[in-house]
A and B are shown apart, each in its own frame.
Chain A
Amino acid sequence: MKVHLSHPTRDVVIQGPKRVAEIFKELNLLPEAFLIIRGQDLITEDETVADGDSIEIRPVISGG
């Protein structure tokens, strides 16, 4: 699957299928600081992302 990340903007490829919670663990990210978006929709940590899917892991923390 293709994973789009921000700060800095980059794309990484991860072997699927995988649950969102496992993707967070693999990328060493805190779920509280991100949203997962597939297409235009949010998905929860228990959902499985297929190998051919593209997702965005969007940071929600701002420094202001």
Chain B
Amino acid sequence: MRCRKCPKRAVLGLPRHNTAFCGDCLTEFVRTQVQRAIKTQQMFSPEDRILVAVSGGKDSLTLWEILLKLGYRVDALYVDLGIPGYSSRSKEKVVQFAKMVAEPCGSRLTIHTVEEDAGAGIKELANLIKRPTCSACGTIKRYQFNRVAWQNHYNVMATGHNLDDEAARLLGNVLQWQEEYLQKQSPSLPASVEGFAKKVKPLYRMTEREIAAYAVVNRIDYLVEECPMAKGAKMLVFKDALNRLEAESPGTKQRFYWGFLDRQEKSSSVAPSMSQIDQTTLQPCTVCSQPTTAGTCSFCRMMVRAKTAVK
């Protein structure tokens, strides 16, 4: 197979675009798509300070690399969850990337260790408070990401969520008719209230396969291993179902999620915005002051339950 843009050998076919690219043209394509996502969704400008959440996986390290290559002011946060073996291997990938790629560009890495803060790793914490590990993990990561962004004056938080992630999440929300979650599925969520930074997903136009291919072509050394806690996760089932549909009809995932975004935009003139909803429902947490719908935020409630369980 030949590249559709130049005479070189193709390294990846992209059936959803009915095209194929060599390594250089794939790199250009992915960076252009990310820049388009940033511009069309008004995610941020070169003046903004961006904090990207990194895990050591392909998506977050690729996002960090692309934002650096595009000239944005970006630093990263890694949350060490204390998962035996897996966390040390993922941290090693992040630290190595920071040293070899990010630091020479003036970008720095912050590491938050859950065990130092909470006295236990994520699995032990989840057991103490009798919640699924992935749910406790999500609460901790969201909280720490926002805390570090807010305390260090980053005005934008970026995550490596891709088209597969968003299409699978949309499928899950639609199957359960979780309409309140549908409102939060935009790739760009505003800093609606004091204490929240803006949240963006610059990779939402790219599939997981395209991002992984970009990482391989650009020698980004990421952790291929899956988080052991994700085994049996519903998201994997939704992604597999969508990939089966994609194989039969290329472009299905894109039409599903982008079609949803189009509809969301059309209805935005009549429905209340996320900012309006947040401003009427959120208030500062009585313990930590981060915005919450309850008196005490879910992170602080979780920490209280964990400490009570230890006693």
Question: Which of A's residues lie within 8 Å of B, judged by CB?
Answer: 6-7, 30-35, 37, 40-47, 58-64
Contacts and interface: CB of A to CB of B under 8 A. Distances in A.
Nearest to A44: B1
Contact of A45 (B13, B59, B208): B13
Contacts of A61: 164, 208, 236, 239-240, 243
Contact of B20 (A44, A59, A60): A44
A63 to B, nearest CB: 3
Interface residues of B, number: 37
A35 B235 CA distance: 20
A37 B1 CA distance: 15
A36 B127 CA distance: 39
A53 to B, nearest CB: 16
A29 to B, nearest CB: 10
A46 B231 CA distance: 32
A63 B12 contact: no
Contacts of A62: 57-59, 208, 226-227, 230
Q: Is the interface of A mostly helix, strand, loop or mixed?
A: loop
B233 A44 contact: no
Contact of B224 (A30, A59, A64): A59
Contacts, number: 81
Shortest 5 CB-CB contacts between residues of A and residues of B: A63-B230, A42-B11, A60-B212, A63-B233, A32-B243
Given A42-B217, A61-B236, A62-B59, A35 B226 contact: no
Given A37-B216, A42-B11, A46-B1, A60 B209 contact: yes
Contacts of A47: 1
23 contacts: A6-B224, A30-B240, A32-B246, A32-B247, A33-B240, A35-B216, A37-B216, A42-B11, A43-B11, A44-B10, A44-B11, A58-B224, A60-B208, A61-B208, A61-B236, A61-B239, A62-B59, A62-B230, A63-B230, A63-B231, A63-B235, A63-B236, A64-B227
A34 B233 CA distance: 19
B12 A33 contact: no
Given A60-B209, A63-B227, 9 more contacts: A33-B239, A42-B11, A42-B23, A44-B10, A46-B1, A59-B226, A61-B240, A63-B231, A64-B230
Interface in B213-260: 213, 216-217, 219, 224-227, 230-231, 233, 235-236, 239-240, 243-244, 246-247
Given A32-B247, A63-B227, A44 B12 contact: yes
B166 interface: no
A42 B13 contact: no
Contacts of B20: 44
Contact of B12 (A7, A30, A42, A58): A42
A41 B11 CA distance: 8
A45 B14 CA distance: 11
A30 B1 contact: no
Contacts of A7: 226
Contacts of A63: 226-227, 230-231, 233, 235-236
